[in-house]
């Protein structure tokens, strides 16, 4: 359940998923805000709560990747896993959110899906790399 490979992969991908998205959304705010209809973001993040959520997400991301890859931790498998994770979570939910909420225009969801596609594929490659080095 908690091997060296899982612990190190979770730590590395947690740091990646914790620091990069807030930086991206801060920088991309001017571009993305023109597509937001009803802003719902907090004025300031709850970084402690965010850390717990990112840690849980990262642990799950690592566990699912390691089960999915059958012990073959190649960068290609990590990249493919990131694409599948994006299709499963972000891209599909973007369609659902656009169809059911009045938060943002379609362009926002498209740009956000592309961003998370990049994040999850990079995260998948990171997990594959660290898992390979620590197993």
Give the tokens for residue 117.
């596609």
Domain containing 8 equals 4-134
The per-residue b/e assignment along 23-32, b for 16 or more CB within 10 angstroms, e otherwise, is eeeeeeeeeb
Residue 90 DSSP label: I
**How far from the centroid of its chain's Cα atoms is residue 2's Cα?**
21
Contacts of 128 (CB under 8 A, 6+ apart): 65, 69, 73, 74, 75, 77, 78, 79, 81
Q: Torsions phi, psi of 102, nearest 5?
A: -115, 50
Tell me how far CA of residue 69 lies from CA of 1, 6, 79, in angstroms: 16, 13, 11
pLDDT tens by residue, 75-129: 999 999 999 999 999 999 999 999 999 889 999 999 999 999 999 999 999 999 9
What's the pLDDT score for residue 31? 84
Does pTM top 0.85 for this prediction? yes
Number of domains in the chain: 1
Contacts of 126 (CB under 8 A, 6+ apart): 9, 12, 13, 16, 78
């Amino acid at each position: 359940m908690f091997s060296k490979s899982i612990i190190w992969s979770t730590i590395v991908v947690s740091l990646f998923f914790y620091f990069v998205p807030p930086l991206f959304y801060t920088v991309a705010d001017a571009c993305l805000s023109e597509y937001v209809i009803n802003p719902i973001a907090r004025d300031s993040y709850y970084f402690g709560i965010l850390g717990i959520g990112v840690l849980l997400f990262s642990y799950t991301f690592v566990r699912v990747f390691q089960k999915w890859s059958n012990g073959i931790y190649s960068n290609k498998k990590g990249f493919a896993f990131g694409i599948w994770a994006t299709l499963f979570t972000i891209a599909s939910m973007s369609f659902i959110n656009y169809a059911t909420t009045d938060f943002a225009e379609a362009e926002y969801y498209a740009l956000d899906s592309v961003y998370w596609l990049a994040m999850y594929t990079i995260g998948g490659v990171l997990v594959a790399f660290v898992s390979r080095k620590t197993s």
